[in-house]
Amino acid sequence: MIRVITDWLGLIGSGLIPVRDGVLRNGPRRWAVTLLLGGGLPFALAYYALGLGLDEVLFRRYRRQPVRRPVFILGVPRSGTTALHEALAHDPRFTTQQTWECLLAPAISHRYAWHGLARLDRRLGRPLQRLAGALNRRFLAPLTDAHPIAARAPEEDYLSLLPWLSAFILVVAFPDSRRLWRLGRGDAALTEAEKRRLMRHYRRNIQRHLFFHGGQRTYLAKNASHATLVATLQTAFPDARFIACLRDPAEVVSSQLSSLAPGLEALHGHIHRGALARRMLRQLHFGYTELLSVLPRRAAGRAVLIPLPAQRQGLAATLRETYAALDLPLDPAFAGHLETLDARARQHRSGHRHALGDHDLDADTIAERFADIRAAFDFAATRPLKAEEATPMDPRPRVLVVSDAAPQRNGVGTYYSDLIEHLRDSVGDIALIAAGDPAHPRRHWFETGLPGDATQRIAVPAPRAFWRSLEAWRPDTLIVATPGPYGVLAALMARRLGARLIFGLHTDYEALATLYWGRLRGWLNRALMARVNAVVFRRAAVVVSNSAHMHQLARDKGAHHAVRVHTPVPRAFLDTPVAALETPPRRILFVGRLAAEKRVESVIDAAAAHPGCTVRIAGDGPQRGTVEAAAARLDNLEYLGWLDRGALLSALDASDLLVLPSQVEAFGTVALEAMARGRVTLVSPGCGIADWPEFAPGLRVMGADETVEQALERLFSEPPAALADCAATARAQAVAMTRRCLDEWQALIRP
């Protein structure tokens, strides 16, 4: 109930608060209509809640009603789903919901009450029936010209989700509701928890219907808005059969916009048709993509694709082939009625007139926007196609990565820069929005040095400009790499964007707080980070991490779905020939932020203890002065400063051994890069990379209380051949890890 109240207030807010690039025009009419419609909703919701509540008391046995092999008719709007639904509703094997049941009687209690009222109305001469007809002609018909409503006509049962404000039709009343548009993008935009909750309500609605009507017949549903929920429906109803109606996108776009616009303008006056068109184009494209990518992967005999010409030119033959493909016995009475239905379909001529130009669109725009859809399916075909015989469409999602870390500046910045470079070939479009990106400077409200390291910055972006940047990209998947201001703002905006949120937990910021603040400030900052993580975790579909410690941390802190992923290596580190390795290693390199948690002093001490070795330190940070002073004092110690990726590759090739003695290190990307270059790699047990069992043969790990000096002495005692084999193994492991990493991210981006 609290969730419904929150959603109701959100609908009202969407109409009262002006929205940039919204469908509605700002003004008194917008506010008046919103308050009128929003104010009426509580009465409808109370009516629904009363009936549904009585069901749980009087008819609770409905929950045991099985839903066996339901048949779902899907398709983007205006693709012939209504005509096919009406035809199949003649088959006595099916039971389907009628308009009055969806709108007025989602509960069993409602249905008994309305049946009783109807009997009374008939005895009194049908005055209520005549009144309902007049109201329909006067008020509803102008809003539904392209989709006439009749009380006893088969109807889309998603309307039975109105008690939970989860029916997309509400977008006519509240066209600027971000939540409704996100609901309309289903599988791509909803979290796993939201999808489970939606399917729980939907299944119970079906169970109520079957319970009321005896429960022996097969349930038949038609929902154009559920084309974007194919994968979710498959999970909720694993034995379901699917029939997908498909029509050429150019005809669908024009028809759908012209069917929505009159209803919107009858309620709200003049609207921004361009904004409506942009939103609907995205919605329709995703619907097509979902149908053509998910259904062909179903098991044989579970799904059929029907192009619109197959219905218009040969409905009887199309239905016979569909029944055979889905292993549905053809009832003799229905078989005898097929020719009549076929004749009606051939003679039918729609009175709905529409043109792309009415919505500032043209054929070239549609052809470009839906080129991949047209390439994936023959919309002119005159016969149905078994889904398993179709080539699954390979959707190329738009991905946006948001990070508070500058590109390639630290481990997180490096991780995502490398990942983006690898994914460009397989993802439709992928981009990075990062604080401190010199190539794309952004306006900030506030900026300061990172605690413990003033060489890195933390910034609060101007929210409106930041939102425009995200909205302009129109991401299907939003990857938040850090829990800083950039990351948190992006996470909060993900739902408005209709994007699937993936959150990367790569650093234990709560643990770092103890290194840079005193007891009180450290406690406050740990509490703040815990709260930030909790907010982001609730919104994220997946929380990813690349170490065992961070993975466990994500699970401990309540991530709905935590996944451990591998780490990529830059292409240049894999493609450039490896330089020769000298063993035993005498050229030692440290790369990292010059800060307390990296234990740089231990590296300096090792240089002093091993004057026969050349030790080089690369990086920047608060302990830079300490390193520069040590380099001036020790002949075998050299400070290289901060290195870009090209210079880092050269520095690794000029070394034999990389040492990374960090106290806190979520993974240790530079260690993996050293392995990719065939270097001997020595890390502390505090580095996340040491938690990966498959890396054990290619890594050398320090003891829990061992200093770098002691670890080097132990390492130098190993046979040179063993160290050379270790480095070669490390190279092979790094290559294999990158391949696995890309496969894992592909699966996350395309769930």
CB neighbours of 282 closer than 8 A, spacing ≥ 6? Answer: 185, 474
Q: In terms of Cα–Cα distance, which of 238, 167, 141 is closest to 4? A: 167
The rounded Cα 681 to chain-centroid distance in angstroms is 37
619: left (phi over 0), alpha (psi -120 to 50) or beta: left
Rounded Cα distance, 607 and 396, in Å: 51
**Phi/psi at 641 (nearest 5 deg)?**
80, -170
Strand partners, 681: 658
Does position 348 have pLDDT exceeding 70, yes or no?
Answer: no
Question: Which has the minimum average pLDDT: 82-96, 199-213, 271-285, 533-547?
Answer: 533-547
Q: In the structure, what pLDDT confidence band is assigned to residue 511 with cuts at 50, 70 and 90?
A: low
Identity of residue 698: G
Tell me, rounded to whole angstroms, the distance of Cα 199 from its chain centroid.
17
Contact in structure between 151 and 99 (CB atoms under 8 Å) = yes
pLDDT band of residue 686 (cuts 50, 70, 90) is confident
How confident is the model at residue 611, as a pLDDT? Answer: 92
pLDDT at 615 over 50: yes
Distance in angstroms (rounded) separating the CA atoms of residues 608 and 589: 14
Would the pLDDT of 624 be above 90?
Answer: yes
Res 671 pLDDT > 50 = yes
Work out the percent of the chain whose per-residue pLDDT is above 70: 91
Domain limits of the chain? 2-389, 403-565, 577-743
Closest CA to 407 of 386, 427, 381, 433: 433
| pLDDT > 50? residue 301 | yes
Instruction: Calculate the alpha carbon distances from 266 to 140, 174, 237, 259 in Å.
Output: 10, 13, 38, 12
Least confident span in 41-50, 51-60, 317-326, 471-480: 471-480
| CA pair distance 370, 248, nearest whole angstrom | 10
DSSP 8-state secondary structure symbol assigned to residue 392: P
Residue 242 phi, psi dihedral angles, 5° rounding: -125, 135
Which uninterrupted H or E stretch holds 400?
A: strand 398-403
Sorting pLDDT into bands at 50, 70 and 90, what band is 120? confident
- Tens-digit pLDDT profile for residues 550-565: 777 778 777 778 888 8
Q: What is the DSSP letter of 386?
A: E
Answer left, alpha or beta for residue 707, where phi above 0 means left and psi between -120 and 50 means alpha: beta
pLDDT single digits (tens) 626-662: 999 999 999 999 999 989 888 999 999 999 999 999 9
Q: Positive or negative, the Cα torsion across 287, 288, 290, 294?
A: positive
Average pLDDT, the chain: 86
Assess whether pLDDT exceeds 80 at residue 576: yes
pLDDT over 50 at 453, yes or no: yes
pTM for this predicted structure: 0.69
* Interstrand relation of 398-403 and 429-434 (parallel, antiparallel or unpaired): parallel
Question: Looking at residue 545, what is its pLDDT?
Answer: 86
d(CA 513, CA 519) in angstroms, rounded, equals 9
Domain 2-389 has CATH 3.40.50.300: yes
pLDDT of residue 633: 94
Residue 146 pLDDT: 45
Q: How far is CA 732 from CA 112, 674, 675, 740, in A?
A: 70, 12, 8, 13
Q: Identify whether the C-beta of residue 333 lies closer than 8 Å to the C-beta of residue 404.
A: no
Residue 109 has pLDDT above 90, yes or no: yes
Which three-class secondary structure state does DSSP give residue 582? Answer: coil
Stronger pLDDT, 395 or 749, i.e. the higher one: 749
Task: Quote the Cα angle for 164-100-235, to 5°.
Answer: 45
What's the rounded Cα separation, in Å, for the pair 139 and 266?
10
Q: What is the pLDDT of residues 42-99, one digit of tens each?
A: 999 999 999 999 999 999 999 999 999 999 999 998 898 999 999 999 999 999 999 9
Express each pLDDT in 127-177 by its tens digit. Answer: 877 777 776 666 555 545 545 567 778 889 999 999 999 999 999 999 999
Fold matches, 2-389 and 577-743: yes
Helices (H) and strands (E) in the chain, counts: 29, 20
| Tokens coding 464 | 């409106």
Superfamily of domain 577-743: Glycogen Phosphorylase B; (3.40.50.2000)
Q: Are 673 and 569 in contact (CB under 8 A)?
A: yes
Alpha-carbon distance 119 to 123, whole Å?
Answer: 6
pLDDT higher than 60, residue 452? no
> Regarding the domain delimited by 403-565, which CATH topology (the fold level of the hierarchy) does it fall under?
Rossmann fold (3.40.50)
Could you give the strand order of the β-sheet that contains 94-95, starting from the edge strand earlier in sequence? 94-95, 218-223, 71-74, 241-246, 303-307, 385-386
Residue 517 in this model has a pLDDT that exceeds 60: no
Instruction: Name the nearest CA neighbour of 369 among 451, 490, 435, 280.
Output: 280
Q: What is the DSSP string of 420-467?
A: HHHHTTTSSEEEEEETT-TTS---EEEEEEETTEEEEEEEEE-HHHHH
DSSP state of 154: B
- Beta strand pairing call for 385-386 and 303-307: antiparallel
Two tokens at 121?
């109305």
